[in-house]
Amino acid sequence: MHNVRGLTEQVIWRIFDDPRVGRVARVQMQTDDAGAPRNYCFVDYEDATSATLAIQCLDAHVVGGRSLRVEATRADAPPEQSDASAGPASLLPLL
């Protein structure tokens, strides 16, 4: 999620841990070398199906007057694991 300054990990968790979508496994706020928040975070779901539902349900969701743009990233999974049974999936919510 880009432009997350001012949003806490707890707020992001509440937005993305939605019963329509699935259970969030982890929210990872990104910081620079000085510990200041970067302008994005990652949200991990328990499975790829939940991540796909999050993209469908939460993309364009408005938070604090800003519209979320949510997309998937599988940076830590091998490329051949692209189906819904591949295990945990990460979202890069972009604001």
- What's the whole-number mean pLDDT along residues 37-61? 88
pLDDT at residue number 37:
81
pTM recorded for the entire structure? 0.70
Distance of alpha carbon 47 from the chain centroid: 13
**CA-wise closest residue to 43 among 1, 81, 95:** 1
User: CB neighbours of 56 closer than 8 A, spacing ≥ 6?
Assistant: none
pLDDT digits (tens, 9 = 90+) for 59-82: 888 888 888 878 887 654 434 444
* pLDDT in the model for residue 3: 57
